[in-house]
Chain A
Amino acid sequence: MAKKYELNEVEVWDGNMAAAQALRQAQVDVVAAYPITPSTPIVQNYSQFLADGYVDGDFIMVESEHSAMSGCVAASAAGARAATATSSQGFALMVEVLYQASGMRLPIVLTVVNRALAAPLNVNGDHSDMYLGRDAGWINLCSYNPQEAYDLTLMAFKIGEDLDVRLPVMVHQDGFLCSHTAQNVRPLQDEVATEFVGEYKPVNSMLDVSNPVTHGVQTEEDWHFEHKARQHNDLMNSKKVIKRVFEEFKDLTGREYDFVYKYKMDDADIAIFALGTTVESAQVAADKMREEGIKAGVVSLRVLRPFPFEEVQDAFSNIKAVAVMDRSAPGGTFGALFNEISAAMLAAGKSPIILNYIYGLGGRDTTIEHLVDIYRQLDECAKAGERKYPLQQFIGLRGPKLSFY
């Protein structure tokens, strides 16, 4: 039995500590992990919990992130609750196995501390790793601060392990701005958190000697498509379970989560759409705009996958202009979120003016002033009733302005 960890009603935790505490409280059976900046403190904190008797599970420091995720897959197939943490290059090394985890329907939890991808090598935050894994068939939850990183990590187990879901779940937080920034966090007491997450229910455990199972089969053109279609179907339908878990968590804590996060959108004319810590900065900028009489709002996603298509349509139904901010190098096209939100609004039959902003790559600071500038551009477009700026602009970039279309 693991020892109970004495927690105050309010703790001062950074995002890494918050995620590590959630993993501890979920009583994970096997954590297989490899350290990488900026998620390293998650595995360090977890090691210390283990060393002090707060964890009754195995913690395997493997020799690479590829092995970390492979270990989680095997442990999960063996009927154990499994989780790990990573960032950036480590995430990239895991990608092969991310697809195997979801294809094998194993409810592993991965806490991702978002960081840029090399080259050039960079240890700071952006969303390149998140974007790299967005088609991997995982549920993706997004947090903006340590409290949310904690809450969503606890909820991730309950969502992924639900028998109607049985899919792995990633919980994202921004490198450094969230992972290394200590803030107030209201944790659940151990027994409350553990009860909320619930006991792990193995499905097709390899360790049941009375029922041998074959995991990780070969399928070719005869069955592969049906498997992937079923997986997609269940990922799309996981929204029901996600909604239910959000509600249960609200009942327990009073903290409310929804697929789409909205700030002052009820009467907004213009909106910034972003993920991660920028969401909080954008709220400050929106308030500034409102002091000038400009009705600005902020929209974000809690759930990147399954993509909340209808909720996004709904959020922008009465908006005149939207800035979709992508914090990942778009690699020869528009930002992925711009494309997805544009598609949602096209399907809605009524689209606001949508501009794409590429920002914050490699940890470049995005200030309130940058966000105010974006709102001013949106305001100009909204008032003119037409697009006045290029479709894609890079903001916060040194040197000559860079834009396309």
Chain B
Amino acid sequence: MTKKIKNLKEFSLSNDRYEGANLMCPGCSHNIIVREVLNATNDPVIVATATGCLEVCTAVYPKTSWDVSWIHIGFENAAVAIATAQAAYEVLKRKGRLPEATKKMIEEGREPKFVAFAGDGGTYDIGFQSLSGAFERGHNFMYVCLDNEVYANTGGQRSSSTPIGASTTTSPAGTVSYGEKMMKKSMVEIMSDHGAPYVAQVSPSKWKDLVKKVQKGFEVNGPVYINAQSACTTEWKHAPEDTIEVSDLGVESCVWPLYEIINERDEHGIIYNTKLNITYRPKNKIPVEEYLAAQPRFKHLFKPENRHIIELWQKAVDAKWEHLQRREEAGV
């Protein structure tokens, strides 16, 4: 059943099933996102987490930050882990072998939700095969990518989510390099093209939008992909207290547009309609430069010889924003 949330104060105090006092860096977005996702429902939640910052900081034996059942297997298999746990749930439910407390919860209309969290390394790169397979098979789960655009846990190496021009430890800016050479992979569209009923992009700074999308995702039947912007104080190199501000700059500049793609499916699973909704439209779209300037990972781009990359960024962001608006207007 969908949880009613009135305001941030109430939301921040409700049903806390994730201990924030863990080993994460101060100002880490991961903690914020995880709490927002778990707090979006009062139903039981089962969580799988890929190897990464979230995993190494929240489940260090003999402690755990999780007051929901949680599993970590490896780096590349969070999707299959949660999908198969959900499959096991369906089998045991059918066979009447679920634990009594769980049966009772279901009778009260509170079906467990199955959620995977993984970073962009575990999603865009090494976990992509497992993710793609689980989406193709149509399991009923939500996959949340905590996208900080870098392998943060292992010391800031580039991933296929790292945007052009970012200086990382394996794509460093140098005397003859402006840093990362590749554009970021379009994960939201890729996951939507798997035929998933619901995919969305969110930012922890727009918490109401995030919660609404997570709640929508919990309502649909089938795999759901949520791409969550996760500003990384350590690798984006901004001050811990600026996390939300940097996130907002990403949203207000349309570097990180907030939108959802809904594949409406008939009872046979055939998609008869695809809709893209932009869920937040900045009143004054700010220049990309302001977003880049707030993060020292891009500071070398402001040298005269690298300025062309900032121009390229602006062009790419404008083109994507234009494309999203056209898709929304056309209803495709």
Contact = CB atoms under 8 A, between A and B. Distances in A.
Interface of A: 29-30, 32, 56-58, 60-64, 66-67, 70-75, 77-80, 82, 96-97, 100, 104, 202, 205-220, 223, 227
B67 A207 contact: no
Given A64-B133, A223-B62, A207 B91 contact: no
By size class, the interface of chain B is 35 or more
Contacts of A219: 60-61
A61 B129 CA distance: 14
Contacts of A62: 80, 133, 137
A97 B84 CA distance: 15
B69 A73 contact: no
B61 A223 contact: yes
Contact of A78 (B17, B89, B101): B89
A70 B94 CA distance: 23
B72 interface: yes
B252 interface: no
B252 to A, nearest CB: 37
B73 A64 contact: no
Contact of A214 (B64, B83, B90, B136): B64
Contacts of B72: 215-217
A57 B97 CA distance: 12
A80 B92 contact: yes
Given A30-B84, A223-B61, A216 B99 contact: no
Given A63-B133, A214-B66, A58 B88 contact: yes
Given A30-B84, A75-B87, A216 B60 contact: no
Interface of B: 17, 44, 46, 48, 55-56, 59-62, 64, 66-74, 76-77, 80-85, 87-92, 94-95, 97-99, 101-102, 105, 112, 129-130, 132-133, 136-137
Contacts of B88: 29-30, 58, 74-75, 78-80, 82, 207
A109 B44 CA distance: 29
Contacts of A75: 84-85, 87-88
Contact of A74 (B67, B71, B94): B71
Counting chain A CB atoms within 10 Å of each CB, which of B59, B69, B81 scores highest?
B69
Given A74-B82, A208-B99, A214-B69, 5 more contacts: A58-B91, A61-B137, A207-B112, A209-B69, A212-B66
Contacts of B66: 212, 214
Contact of A215 (B62, B71, B133): B71
A231 B101 CA distance: 30
A71 B91 contact: no
Given A63-B129, A212-B67, A217-B59, A29 B73 contact: no
B99 A32 contact: no
Contact of B76 (A61, A66, A223): A66
11 contacts: A58-B87, A58-B90, A62-B80, A62-B137, A63-B132, A75-B88, A79-B99, A100-B74, A210-B102, A212-B67, A219-B61
A107 to B, nearest CB: 14
A75 B56 CA distance: 22
A216 B59 contact: yes
B87 to A, nearest CB: 5
B78 to A, nearest CB: 9
A215 B88 CA distance: 16
A38 B198 CA distance: 39
B85 A63 contact: no
Contacts of B90: 58
B99 A207 contact: yes
B44 A209 contact: yes
A290 to B, nearest CB: 52
Nearest to B112: A209
Counting chain A CB atoms within 10 Å of each CB, which of B82, B98, B132 scores highest?
B98
B59 A77 contact: no
B70 to A, nearest CB: 5
A218 B60 contact: yes
A56 B95 contact: yes
Counting chain B CB atoms within 10 Å of each CB, which of A32, A96, A97, A217 scores highest?
A217
A70 B84 contact: yes
A100 B130 CA distance: 17
A220 B97 CA distance: 36
B85 A206 contact: yes
Contacts of B67: 212
B119 to A, nearest CB: 15
Given A74-B48, A78-B89, A207-B89, A218 B59 contact: yes
Nearest to A29: B91
Given A30-B91, A79-B92, A218-B55, A73 B73 contact: yes
Nearest to A209: B44
B69 A66 contact: no
B92 A29 contact: yes
Nearest to A101: B73
A217 to B, nearest CB: 4
Nearest to B139: A60
A357 B263 CA distance: 61
Contacts of A58: 87-88, 90-91
Contacts of B59: 214, 216-218
Contacts of B68: 212
B102 A209 contact: yes
Contacts of A214: 59, 64, 66, 69-71
